[in-house]
């Protein structure tokens, strides 16, 4: 068997091409399908770069995400090249070597060492040219930059807590960052594994109980960016979202100042009623700085909840109607959320909502 | 086209490699079982020095009793000797000798198990349970799995004795003893590893402990 | 390795088994002794690793007859043993190198 | 004990019939077990498929209301668990069982009853896991079951227990089968069948069996640790409050999980490596390279597991190491693909349905491999991890790869198993619907992933740019469903009035085509003597075959001189005991959920089964 003559592929390719010119125009079904796939897949990729969508990883804004995107395109280019070459070759073969008569018996080629070495080495070359920028990028991203601010992120089922240790600010589900500054995140979890991800700003990093994971983000233009948990963390994993508001330095400083101001006792008697109900019903789980007794740590802080864009971890826009709906029956909005139905009367709800929204 | 003559493949135990099916299976199983203990030992080693509260394995608050464990490790080691002696007897057709050595091996295995039971009881008395800390968690699981292997081994050995008493284990069947022996020796070498890694090499104390 | 499966060497007899067992017993004694010698505590881990490797190999080679039996058995066993060892080393490296543990957190 | 089992054996008289349900339930014939594996796992394929359809319906539109979030989590967990453990693995096992003895020229496997035991444990395990839907809810923590979401504190129901215990049971099935096939392949080859003459499918089976026996114990340990954590012993393996580390679970899971990926794909590669040469009328190009590439992929599978964990925070060094080893896997994979393509080059390609599926495999697998390259690089993976991009990637590998190849195998070996050809017209319709459906379903997932859509979310709002492609995917999934329906119609129709296949409908190359279809119980009336690779091809066309040497009447092993009529060949008798033992083992596992007394009952049944098994002669 080993004595069989080994025909050389290039030689056969040449004859194949020569014959190809006189082939009938009927293409095999498989070949036409594969060309369809080839064009289709490339077209799909190109249409995916529209850039308007809020979590598009290919229209990055943050510095880290931009570096990751650059690397993606390098690797994608290699992949696309290989894709076109190999699928093209496959198509050609299917077309060229289809069986024309039931009696034909092709040359019994068993192998070709030189060719096989060639197509072992070719991928190695490509892989090396992918591996080098990969490793460089891994270490570049892991480098300690000139950090100007620290933020501690604590993942909870199913909301995010953000602590600014240097600034004495604690907030939830809405992260404010100053433009152009390098922010170092310290990611921790209060319960199960989550993953912190703002696609336009940086790739994700897992949030693991018992560990503390680092992540750096730097954004050079202001804007509001969406993020969400990327690791399955239970029934409401899908609804564990947050927003990142990147502001000019002055606006950011103003926000910090507002956040540090404790809640003032309300003057309006309608508001007093709301504050009393909140004190009674909410304070075991929620903190409101300045409201006596409201020091609970189970749920997100409600100090300045009126200033946030969304409630229930990015699920609902923060409007009076939505807040009322949420308080009326959290389980209807977010099945499985740890906030129970408090059984407030409609009257009480109408008192609580304006009070909470007044906390800006 | 040739065909093998029907008579040429008559003996049932003739195999491609010339090796017995069951013995091949046993070695493949032992290779596989390496990974079982590999994962258990890895877990123990990863959690070394990561317990948040005592009791710890060694040091002033340590629960390990090295002289005691050394004796039981020695007992298990010697059971490997009695096991090969049983095999040697079986291969030479000394059926009664084989039974004696098999019983001796099972007995030594039982002594080892008794020691392990005593050790577990003592640890629990000192406040170490599987729930106490990650040392307790990984220690009891690892040594418990080993103990389960020994128990199964003892059952196999005693079954062989019973089979032999019914005349089912003549000289020609010594391969059965050999295969059982492979399993038994494997259980012994696992303990050689555990004895060194778990007992003799002291674990670092957690930085914030005691 | 070149020994064909059918012609592997005969297993040793009881005399050789007992000799091996005596060596094993002595090594075990040395192991425990080393454990109690304070001046050796720095080198305790490497000494114990070497000694127990010898014990391990002797049981496998003589009592389990790998020295005498078909090399195929050795492949099967060493395959599993090798992967298990590599996994252990890799995991110890991974957990040793990277953990930023927050004790008692969560 | 002895008397109990003794009387039990007396009650369960040794089955003697060769027909009817009981003969199937007690069979130890590898071909029948293969058929049982195939039918059972195809039923699970339909169940897992329906689960996928519900998931796709939920996600067809923003704010879907088809199922509630808890059910959604259960469905995607069960979809993946089913497809991996109850479909692709056992479907591969169906081919192992049916084909291996035929391909190596053996009359049976080394341990026929152990083989039956594997099957029954698999059935029991599959039913057990799925029964969780009836007992308070299916597992809901993903097929990867990441700790500590699986701990009692965060997952009080018993779904996770069904999952962990069920997988332990299925693990026994895989282990028993793997030991069996390792011994069978090493030890029961026909004279002249050297290792380097074995069919590629047999080689890949051997590699997979080794991967299984080394990988299964690791996941078994992890699952046991999980169950101990959840048990009254309250261990702390994955409990961070007491020093445990949930990341340990991830390491152990992926130490198993990555070899598992190759366990799922290597049999497919083996099938393709049989189909392509047959319909190209050429030997596999570079056989040794393809074999070694397969072995090397299996070996490398142990050094890449942490690429599933790039975002966990292992540090730059570990991430770099695992990135490089992962990329390196592309080399042997590339070797295989190029060798397949070179097999086609210069061949005489006949586009049967089996061939189309195999070509589809190559094409789709290339896409899956290339998208894999983009997340072998950690910095890009930080964006792609846990998004639909990953879902796209592994569906191109597992559906475009494994499932297409398995369908190729159905169409290829169906005539061998049943004696009847599947209809080629319906087969081609099946192929085109399936390949169009899968590209519609999984292609857009690349875009959604890059567009920031995470996996495992039961809902998404409008305005994210995800609506259009999600709808297309759902439509695509219905096309896949249609293609499976066409397959079923094909099976039903041809079983009634299909064309007779004859022993060698495809001008086959390997020994299974030298015997009648379906093969007799003893497979080979006379044991063949193998002269080289593609043993049957050589028999037909001579050692230097091809090039005009076209024999009209191939020799067959159906009849011959001597005792070639097969009547004198004794095959092992059927047995109830594998089933009894498997039942006992499953009860033992179920007892962990339903009460330890049940475990006791199970243990007694199992020990009784083993005891009777050991004392039962191979045939009376």
pLDDT in tens, D582-603: 999 999 999 999 999 999 999 9
Could you say which DSSP state residue D393 is in? Answer: H
* Among candidates B45, B66, B88 on the partner chain, residue whose Cβ is nearest the Cβ of C14: B88
pTM of the model: 0.92
| Chain A residues in contact with D282 (beta carbon < 8 A) | 106-109
- Tell me which residue in D362, D428, D450 faces A90 most closely, judged by beta carbons: D362
A210 and C106 within 8 Å at the Cβ level: the answer is: yes
Which residues pair with residue A171 across a beta bridge?
A: A162
Choose the mutation target among D452, D467, D550 for the interface with A, i.e. most A CBs under 10 Å: D452
| CB-CB under 8 Å, D366 with A86 | yes
Taking residues D70-77, report their average pLDDT.
97
- 3-class state of residue B203 by DSSP: coil
Q: Kindly indicate the confidence band of residue C4, based on its pLDDT and cuts at 50, 70 and 90.
A: very low
Residue B56 inside a domain? The answer is yes
3-state secondary structure A78-136: HHHHHHHHHHHHHHHHHHHCECCCCCCCCCCCCCCHHHHHHHHHHHHHHHHHHHHHHHH
Q: What is the DSSP string of A162-229?
A: EEETTTTEEEESEEEEETT--EEEEEEESSS-EEEEETTTEEEEEE-TTB-EEEEE-BSS-EEEEEE-
Establish if C38 belongs to a structural domain. Answer: yes
User: How far does C89 lie from chain A, in Å, by closest CA?
Assistant: 22
Question: Is C97's CB within 8 Å of D317's CB?
Answer: yes
- Residue C4 included in any domain: no
> Out of 1.10.3720.10, 3.10.310.10, 2.60.40.420, 3.40.50.10310, which CATH number does the structure's domain A269-357 have?
2.60.40.420
DSSP state of D420: B
pLDDT at D560 over 70: no
- Identify the closest residue of chain B to D524 by CA–CA distance: B3
Q: Read off the pLDDT band of D542 (50, 70, 90).
A: confident
Average pLDDT, chain D: 92
Q: What is the mean pLDDT of chain A?
A: 87
How does DSSP assign D441-472, residue by residue?
HHHHHHHHHHTTPBSS-S---TTSS-HHHHHH
In a domain, C58, yes or no: yes
Determine contact, residues A64/D314, Cβ cutoff 8 Å.
no
User: In this complex, is the C-beta atom of B3 within 8 Å of any C-beta atom belonging to chain D?
Assistant: yes
Of D127, D91, D124, D116, the closest CA to residue D23 belongs to: D116
D425 contacts: CB under 8 Å, gap ≥ 6: none
Cβ neighbours of residue A335 closer than 8 Å, sequence gap 6 or more: A235, A236, D68, D69, D70
**pLDDT computed for residue B206 by the predictor:** 65
pLDDT tens-digit series, residues C13-26? 899 999 999 999 99
What are the chain B neighbours of D529 within 8 Å (beta carbons)?
Answer: 1-4
Number of compact structural domains in chain B = 1
Domain boundaries for CATH 2.60.40.420 within chain A: 149-260, 269-357
Contacts of D240 in chain C (CB under 8 A): 105-106
Residues of A in contact with D447 (CB under 8 A): 44-45, 47-48
Per residue of chain B (210 residues), give pLDDT as tens. 334 333 333 334 478 999 999 999 999 999 999 999 999 999 999 999 889 888 888 877 789 999 999 999 999 999 999 999 999 999 999 999 999 999 999 999 999 999 999 999 999 999 999 999 999 999 999 999 999 999 999 999 999 999 999 988 999 999 999 999 999 999 999 999 999 999 998 877 766 544
Q: C98 and D240 in contact by Cβ < 8 A? A: no
Contacts of C91 in chain D (CB under 8 A): 251
CATH architecture of A149-260: Sandwich (2.60)
d(CA D95, CA D118): 14
Q: Do B139 and B69 contact (CB within 8 A), yes or no?
A: no
Q: Is the pLDDT of residue D281 over 60?
A: yes
Task: Write the ipTM.
Answer: 0.91
- For D426, residues 6+ apart whose C-beta sits below 8 A from its C-beta are D486, D487, D489, D490, D493
Domain assignment of residue C54, given as a range: 14-97
State in words which class domain D30-520+526-559 has. mainly alpha
Give the relative orientation of helices D30-59 and D404-418 as an angle to the nearest 10 degrees: 150
pLDDT of residue A139 exceeding 90: yes
Per CB-CB distance under 8 Å, the chain A contacts of C100 are 211-213
Task: Give the number of other Cβ atoms within 10 Å of residue C42's Cβ.
Answer: 9
CA distances for D240 relative to A95, A160, B57, C105, angstroms = 60, 20, 20, 7
Chain C residues in contact with A206 (beta carbon < 8 A) = none
D214/C80 touch (CB, cutoff 8 Å), yes or no: yes
Residue C7 domain flag: no
Q: How far apart are CA D208 and CA D179, in angstroms?
A: 11
DSSP state of B196: I
Cβ atoms of B78 and B161 within 8 Å: the answer is: no
Range name among A286-295, C34-43, D56-65, D261-270 with the lowest pLDDT average: C34-43
User: Is residue B128 in a domain?
Assistant: yes
CB contact under 8 A, A212 and C99: no
Phi, psi of A76 (to 5 degrees): -60, -40
Residue ranges covered by each domain of chain D: 30-520+526-559
> D residues 294-333 near A, CB within 8 Å?
311-313, 315-316, 319-320, 323-324, 327-328, 330-331
Look up the domain containing B101 and give its range: 16-200
CB contact under 8 A, C44 and B84: no
The more confidently predicted of residues A348 and D18 is A348
- C66/chain D closest Cα distance in angstroms: 18
Judged by CB atoms closer than 8 Å, whether chains meet at C95 and D245 is answered as yes
Cα atoms found within 13 Å of the Cα of residue A233, Cβ hemisphere only: 30
The Cα of B166 is separated from the nearest Cα of chain C by a number of Å equal to: 26
Compare CB distances from C17 to B17, B28, B85 and report the shortest one's residue: B85
User: What chains are in contact with A, requiring at least 3 Cβ pairs below 8 Å?
Assistant: C, D
Q: Token digits for D14?
A: 């040794």
pLDDT attached to residue C105: 39
Instruction: Give the one of C87, C97, C104 whose C-beta lies nearest to D318's C-beta.
Output: C97
- Is residue C55 a part of any domain in this protein? yes
Report the number of distinct structural domains present in chain C. Answer: 1
Instruction: Supply D580's token pair.
Output: 């009894």
CATH number of the domain encompassing residue B114: 1.20.120.80
Task: Average the pLDDT over each of A1-5, A26-30, A348-352, B38-42 and give the range with the smallest value.
Answer: A1-5
End-to-end CA distance of chain B: 79
Query: Does a structural domain hold residue C20?
Result: yes
Subunits touching C (CB < 8 Å, at least 3 pairs)? A, B, D
Asked if A110's CB is within 8 angstroms of D286's CB, the reply is: yes
Q: Please give the pLDDT value at position A36.
A: 67
C72/D186 touch (CB, cutoff 8 Å), yes or no = yes
Residue D563 is predicted with a pLDDT of: 42
pLDDT digits (tens, 9 = 90+) for D107-161: 999 999 999 999 999 999 999 999 999 998 999 999 999 999 999 999 999 999 9
Closest approach of C26 to chain D, Cα-based (Å): 34
Measured in whole angstroms, the distance separating CA D8 from the mean position of its chain's CA atoms is 35
In this structure, the dihedral spanned by the alpha carbons of residues D62, D68, D71 and D77, taken in order and rounded to 10 degrees, is 30
Question: Is residue C9 one of the residues assigned to a domain?
Answer: no
Q: Which helix (H) or strand (E) holds A73?
A: helix A63-96
Residue B80 maps to a domain: yes
Contacts of B16 in chain D (CB under 8 A): 186-189, 193
Strand partners, C101: A211
- The nearest CA of chain C is from the CA of B58 a distance in Å of 12
Do the Cβ atoms of D439 and A231 come within 8 Å? Answer: no
């Amino acid at each position: 068997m080993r004595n069989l003559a080994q025909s050389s592929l290039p030689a056969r390719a040449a004859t194949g091409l020569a014959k190809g010119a006189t082939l009938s125009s009927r293409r095999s079904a498989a070949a036409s399908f594969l060309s369809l796939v080839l064009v289709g897949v490339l077209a799909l990729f190109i249409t995916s770069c529209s850039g308007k969508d809020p979590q598009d990883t290919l229209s990055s804004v943050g510095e880290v995400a931009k570096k990751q995107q650059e690397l993606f395109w390098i690797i994608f280019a290699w992949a696309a090249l290989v894709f076109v070459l190999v699928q093209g070759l496959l198509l050609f073969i299917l077309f060229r070597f289809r069986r024309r008569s039931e009696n034909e018996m092709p040359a019994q080629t068993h192998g070709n060492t030189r060719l096989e070495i060639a197509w072992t080495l070719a991928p190695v070359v490509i892989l090396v040219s992918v591996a080098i920028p990969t490793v460089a990028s891994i270490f570049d991203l892991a480098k300690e930059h000139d950090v100007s601010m620290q933020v501690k992120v604590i993942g909870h089922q199913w909301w995010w807590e953000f602590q600014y240790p240097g600034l004495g600010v604690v907030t939830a589900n809405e992260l404010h960052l100053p433009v152009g500054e390098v922010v170092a995140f310290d990611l921790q979890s209060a319960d199960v594994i989550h993953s912190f991800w703002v696609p336009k700003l940086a790739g994700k990093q897992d949030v693991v109980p018992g560990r503390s994971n680092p992540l750096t983000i730097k954004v050079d233009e202001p804007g509001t960016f969406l993020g969400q948990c990327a690791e399955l963390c239970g029934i409401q994993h899908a609804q564990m979202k947050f927003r990142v508001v990147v502001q000019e330095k002055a606006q950011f400083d103003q926000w910090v100042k507002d956040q540090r101001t404790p809640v003032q006792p309300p003057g309006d008697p309608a508001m007093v009623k709301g504050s009393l109900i909140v004190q009674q019903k909410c304070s075991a789980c929620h903190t409101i700085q300045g409201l006596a007794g409201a020091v609970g740590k189970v749920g997100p802080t409600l100090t300045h909840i009126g200033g946030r864009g969304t409630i229930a971890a990015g699920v609902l826009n923060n409007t009076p109607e939505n807040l009322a709906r949420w308080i009326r029956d959290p389980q209807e909005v977010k099945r499985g959320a740890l906030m129970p139905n408090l059984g407030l009367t409609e009257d009480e709800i109408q008192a609580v909502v304006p009070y909470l929204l007044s906390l800006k | 086209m040739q065909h093998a003559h029907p008579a040429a493949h008559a003996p049932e135990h003739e195999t491609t490699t010339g090796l017995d099916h069951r013995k091949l299976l046993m070695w493949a199983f032992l290779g596989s079982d390496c990974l079982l203990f590999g994962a258990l030992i890895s877990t123990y080693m990863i959690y070394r020095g990561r317990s948040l509260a005592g009791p710890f394995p060694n040091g002033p608050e340590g629960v390990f009793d090295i002289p005691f464990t050394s004796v039981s490790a020695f007992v298990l080691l010697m059971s490997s000797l009695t096991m090969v002696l049983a095999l040697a007897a079986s291969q030479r057709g000394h059926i009664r000798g084989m039974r004696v050595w098999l019983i001796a091996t099972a007995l030594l295995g039982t002594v080892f198990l008794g020691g392990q039971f005593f050790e577990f009881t003592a640890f629990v008395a000192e406040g170490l349970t599987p729930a106490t800390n990650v040392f307790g968690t990984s220690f009891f699981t690892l040594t418990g799995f080993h103990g389960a292997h020994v128990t199964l081994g003892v059952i196999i050995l005693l079954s062989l004795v019973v089979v032999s008493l019914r005349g089912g284990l003549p000289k020609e069947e010594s391969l059965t003893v050999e295969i059982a022996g492979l399993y038994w020796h494997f259980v012994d070498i696992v303990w050689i590893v555990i004895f060194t890694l778990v007992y003799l090499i002291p674990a670092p104390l957690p930085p914030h402990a005691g | 390795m070149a020994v064909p499966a059918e012609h592997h060497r005969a297993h040793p007899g009881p005399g050789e088994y007992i000799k091996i067992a005596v060596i094993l017993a002595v090594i075990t004694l040395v192991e425990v002794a080393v454990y109690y010698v304070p001046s050796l505590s720095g080198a305790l881990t490497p000494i114990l690793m070497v000694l127990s490797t010898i014990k391990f190999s002797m049981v496998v080679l003589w009592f389990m007859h790998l020295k005498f039996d078909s090399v195929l058995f050795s492949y099967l066993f060493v395959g599993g043993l090798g992967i298990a060892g590599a996994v252990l080393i890799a995991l110890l490296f991974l957990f040793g190198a990277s953990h930023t543990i927050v004790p008692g957190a969560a | 004990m002895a008397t109990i089992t003794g009387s039990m054996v007396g009650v369960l008289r040794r089955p003697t019939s060769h027909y009817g349900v009981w003969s199937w339930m007690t069979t130890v014939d590898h071909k029948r077990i293969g058929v049982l594996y195939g039918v059972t796992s195809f039923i699970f394929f339909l169940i897992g498929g329906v689960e996928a359809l519900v998931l796709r319906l939920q996600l067809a539109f923003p704010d879907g209301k088809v199922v509630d979030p808890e059910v959604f989590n259960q469905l995607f967990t069960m979809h993946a668990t089913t497809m991996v453990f109850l479909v692709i693995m056992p479907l591969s096992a169906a081919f192992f069982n049916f084909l291996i003895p035929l391909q190596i020229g053996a009359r049976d496997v080394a341990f026929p009853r152990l083989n039956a035991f594997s099957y029954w444990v698999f059935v029991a395990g599959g039913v057990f896991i799925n029964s969780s839907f009836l007992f308070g809810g299916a597992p809901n923590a993903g097929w990867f079951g990441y700790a500590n979401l699986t701990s009692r504190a965060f997952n009080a129901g018993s779904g996770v227990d069904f999952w962990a215990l069920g997988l332990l049971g299925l693990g026994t099935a895989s282990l028993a089968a793997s030991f069996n096939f390792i011994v069978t392949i090493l030890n029961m080859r026909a004279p002249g069948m050297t290792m380097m003459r074995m069919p590629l499918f047999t080689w890949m089976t051997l590699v997979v069996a080794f991967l299984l026996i080394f990988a299964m114990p690791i996941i078994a340990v992890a699952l046991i640790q999980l169950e101990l954590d959840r048990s009254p012993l309250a261990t702390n393996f994955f409990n961070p409050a007491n020093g445990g580390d949930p990341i340990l679970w991830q390491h152990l899971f992926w130490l198993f999980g990555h070899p598992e990926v190759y366990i799922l794909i290597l049999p497919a590669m083996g099938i393709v490596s049989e189909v392509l040469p047959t319909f190209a009328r050429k030997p596999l190009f570079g056989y040794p390279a393809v074999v070694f590439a397969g072995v090397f992929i299996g070996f490398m599978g142990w050094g890449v597991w942490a690429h599933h964990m790039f975002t966990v925070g292992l540090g730059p060094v570990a991430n770099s190491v695992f990135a490089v080893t992962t990329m390196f896997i592309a080399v042997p994979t590339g070797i295989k693909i190029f060798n397949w393509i070179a097999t086609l080059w210069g061949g005489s390609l006949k586009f049967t349905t089996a061939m189309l599926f195999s070509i589809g495999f190559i094409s789709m697998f290339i896409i899956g491999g290339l998208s894999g390259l983009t997340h072998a690089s950690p910095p890009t993976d930080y964006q792609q991890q846990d998004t639909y991009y990953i879902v796209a990637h592994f569906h191109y590998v597992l559906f475009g790869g494994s499932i297409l190849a398995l369908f190729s195998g159905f169409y290829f070996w169906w005539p061998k198993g049943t004696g009847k050809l599947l209809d080629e017209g319906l087969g081609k319709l099946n192929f085109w619907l399936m390949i169009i459906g899968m590209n519609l379903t999984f292609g857009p997932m690349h875009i959604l992933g890059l567009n920031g859509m995470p996996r495992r979310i039961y809902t998404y709002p409008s305005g994210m740019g995800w609506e259009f492609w999600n709808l297309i995917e759902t439509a695509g999934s219905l096309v896949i469903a249609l293609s499976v329906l066409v397959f079923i119609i094909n099976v039903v129709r041809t079983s009634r009035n299909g064309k007779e296949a004859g022993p060698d409908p495809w001008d086959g190359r390997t020994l299974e085509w030298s015997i009648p279809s379906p093969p007799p119980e003893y497979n080979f009336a006379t044991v063949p003597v193998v002269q080289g690779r593609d043993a049957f091809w050589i028999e037909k066309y001579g050692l230097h075959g091809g090039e005009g040497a076209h024999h009209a009447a191939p020799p067959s092993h159906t009849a011959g001189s001597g005792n070639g009529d097969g009547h004198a060949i004794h095959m092992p008798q059927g047995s109830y005991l594998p089933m009894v033992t498997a039942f006992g083992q499953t009860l033992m596992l179920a007892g962990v959920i339903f009460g330890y007394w049940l475990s006791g009952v199970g243990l007694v049944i199992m020990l009784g089964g083993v005891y009777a098994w050991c004392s039962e002669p191979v045939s009376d």
